[in-house]
Amino acid sequence: MPSHRSGARFFGVLGILLIIASILFMTYGVKGSWDFVLQLRGKKLLMLLTVAYAVGVSTLLFQTLTHNPILTPGLLGYDSLYLLLQTITLFVFGAVGFTSMSVLSKFVIEAPIMMVASLLLFRTLTRNSNGDLARLILTGMIFGVMFRSFNSLLQRLIDPTLFTVAQTSYFAQFTSVNVTMLIIGMSIMLFSTVWIWRMRYQLDVLMLGRNASIALGINYVRLSHSILLWIALLVSVSTALVGPVSFFGLLICALVNTCAPDMKHQ
């Protein structure tokens, strides 16, 4: 009972702080038409909340899978793969095709690629190394270096003008909001929340390690596949909305682990 009360107090404080921060974001320094400002800032607030959720939860799931509180999905090369896909798209379609392609179209192409890459990486390792997560991380880091090398090669092959266009997608941008992509991101956020809530006890058991999880009746391979798919999808959402920002997840999880009364996923 004390842990439940401390958890309720913790989330109550976080909720109050979130409401205060949201109100200040929506109203502080407003000059001009309130209708325009509230509509503009409202979309940005929803985007920030969606990105924060996607980055934080994807990092949390990755740390649960790897049993390590200082790792991020970036170690599997997601950010490097995202940048490589941007450069390949520019290299194939040119500046006009790249700029005219909608964010939604890029997401529809990039998200399945990242999810398939995650599954292929994990399936290969579970088949050949008995699910060695350390080898999974090292292999992901190697692929990340390979993706960055290919990206650097393509950057040298394209025209300098095209490279200038490509740079716009290499860094996080919080100025513009794509409403369609925001709706998709919020929908994915909702579905992932439902899945995590249903699997919260199995995720708690997974933190004990692979052998202990299997001994306690967890289908380790299937659960790991599901986690990797959600990680890839959430990383795709955050990168599609603002760009590569997965490194923020380490800060989010570190703060939560420090302040939260327990380590339970609920």
State the Cα angle at 123 between 88 and 217, rounded to 5°: 140
CA angle centred on 214, ends 196 and 74, rounded to 5°:
50
Nearest residue to 79 via CA among 256, 223, 248: 248
**Res. 32: pLDDT tops 60:** yes
What pTM does this model have? 0.81
- The listed range with the strongest mean pLDDT (4-13, 61-70, 118-127, 195-204) is 195-204
pLDDT in tens, 75-115: 777 777 878 887 888 777 777 777 777 777 777 877 788 77
Residue 127, SS3?
helix
Q: How far apart are CA 65 and CA 76, in angstroms?
A: 13
Contacts of 128 (CB under 8 A, 6+ apart): none
Q: Give the distance, in angstroms, between the CA of residue 210 and the centroid of all CA atoms in the same chain.
A: 23
Residue 54 pLDDT more than 80?
yes
Q: Helix axis angle, 133-157 relative to 34-66, nearest 10°?
A: 130
218-238: average pLDDT: 85
More confident residue, 60 or 245: 60
Q: Which residues contact 202 (CB under 8 A, 6 or more apart)?
A: 218, 223
Tokens of 131: 């699910």
At 122 the pLDDT is 67
For 184-226, the pLDDT digits (tens) are 889 999 999 999 999 989 998 888 877 888 888 888 888 888 8
CATH of 53-259, one of 1.10.10.60, 1.10.3470.10, 3.30.950.10, 3.40.190.80: 1.10.3470.10
Note the helical H segments in the chain.
Answer: 2-27, 34-66, 78-100, 103-128, 133-157, 160-167, 179-198, 200-206, 210-215, 220-241, 248-259
Distance CA(105)–CA(103), nearest Å, equals 5
Choice between 1 and 20, residue whose per-residue pLDDT is larger: 20
Residue 141's pLDDT band (cuts 50, 70, 90): confident
